[in-house]
Amino acid sequence: MNSAVECWGLTKNYRGLRALDGLSLKIEPGEFFGLLGPNGAGKSTFVKIMVGLVRQTGGWAQIGDAPAGGVRANRSFGYLPELFRFPPWMTGRELLNLHGRLISMSSPDIAKRSTEVLELAGMADAADRRISGYSKGMQQRIGLAQAVLGRPPILFLDEPTSALDPVGRAHVRNLLAALASEGTTIVLNSHLLTDVERVCDRIAVIDHGRVIKTGRPSDLSGGGPLLLRLDGWDKALIEQLSERFGRVETDINGREIRIYNDDDEAAPKVAAFISTHDRRLYELCRERGTLEDVFLELLGRGDGE
């Protein structure tokens, strides 16, 4: 089966500025894929090439088995750009009607599907109000409704939640999760790491126009120390733990211990060891870094930058 979205060695120069520098990516059908990277990394340029708004300088890009930018590729996706403006005099429903006609949907289908997507985007109550009266967040949600109107198998979203408050973001996350569970391939470009971490199956970290890492969010942020919470500890216990399991750190309140051992079997062994001592174990888990920690580490931008 073809991948849903694929590119090899994609380059893009804007008058001497190298926005993409050999970007290669493969996104499988049905994946919820996140693009992460600092401002200027090239994420929007990649999306714009995929949706045919920008032509690459070099390399190859395709959607399904069709070259990106061609008519066949353009029929297979929905798109919500980062910066968009809809005609302010239209109502949300009129906007959907226009888009439905532009993509050759039948009138009864437009009416039925508009009601569905307005509901999904939480815009049903505002559907017959003019867009000029919509907040930025409402405009983003009507934009999303427009992007999914034609039931596209692939969806490109460039910063779809940037203007939303936490409630609006949760709403959009749920909408996207519902689309993903129906098999839509979603390519999400967002700087909101928690959103990406929560919803994406896989992510690519992009910097200076290249992919520097891909993986599942949990794989990228996995592998911290084991954290133990006890009713207390003494020097002898710490010495024995470090002899058996590796480096141990204790905290100042005398209850938490961190053991730096990334073996999956370490946790049950530590639990068994503690149970042979006169200590009560309240918690034992693997601490994971946040995606933000991983992101900063990958980009080599620690504290202060």
Interacting residues toward ligand ADP by CB under 6 A:
14, 17, 19, 37, 39-45
Least distance in angstroms from the C-beta of 54 to ligand ADP: 8
Toward ligand ADP, which CB reaches closer, 121 or 203? 203
Toward ligand ADP, which CB reaches closer, 8 or 14? 14
Positive or negative, the CA dihedral 61, 65, 70, 75 is negative
How does DSSP classify residue 90? S
Toward ligand ADP, which CB reaches closer, 9 or 29? 9
Where are any strands of DSSP class E within the chain?
5-14, 17-27, 32-36, 58-63, 66-67, 77-80, 154-158, 185-189, 202-207, 210-215, 226-230, 248-250, 256-259, 281-286
Toward ligand ADP, which CB reaches closer, 14 or 282? 14
At 159, is the secondary structure helix, strand, or coil? coil
CA 247 from chain centre, in angstroms, equals 34
Residue 268's contacts (CB-CB under 8 Å, 6 or more residues apart) are none
Quick count: other Cβ atoms within 10 Å of Cβ 86? Answer: 18
Toward ligand ADP, which CB reaches closer, 17 or 252? 17
Q: In what order do the strands lie in the sheet with 256-259?
A: 248-250, 256-259, 226-230, 281-286
Least distance in angstroms from the C-beta of 265 to ligand ADP: 41
Toward ligand ADP, which CB reaches closer, 130 or 213? 213
Least distance in angstroms from the C-beta of 149 to ligand ADP: 25
Least distance in angstroms from the C-beta of 261 to ligand ADP: 37
Toward ligand ADP, which CB reaches closer, 42 or 64? 42
Toward ligand ADP, which CB reaches closer, 43 or 210? 43
Least distance in angstroms from the C-beta of 21 to ligand ADP: 10
Measured distance CA(174)–CA(153) in Å, rounded: 18
Measured distance CA(95)–CA(145) in Å, rounded: 10
Measured distance CA(27)–CA(214) in Å, rounded: 11
Closest CA to 207 of 103, 100, 297: 297
Toward ligand ADP, which CB reaches closer, 190 or 261? 190
Least distance in angstroms from the C-beta of 20 to ligand ADP: 8
Least distance in angstroms from the C-beta of 83 to ligand ADP: 10
Least distance in angstroms from the C-beta of 294 to ligand ADP: 18
Least distance in angstroms from the C-beta of 112 to ligand ADP: 35
Burial readout 8-41 (b: 16 or more C-beta within 10 A, e: otherwise) = eebbbeeeeeebbbebbbebeeebbbbbbbeeeb
Token pair, residue 216, equals 């599942």
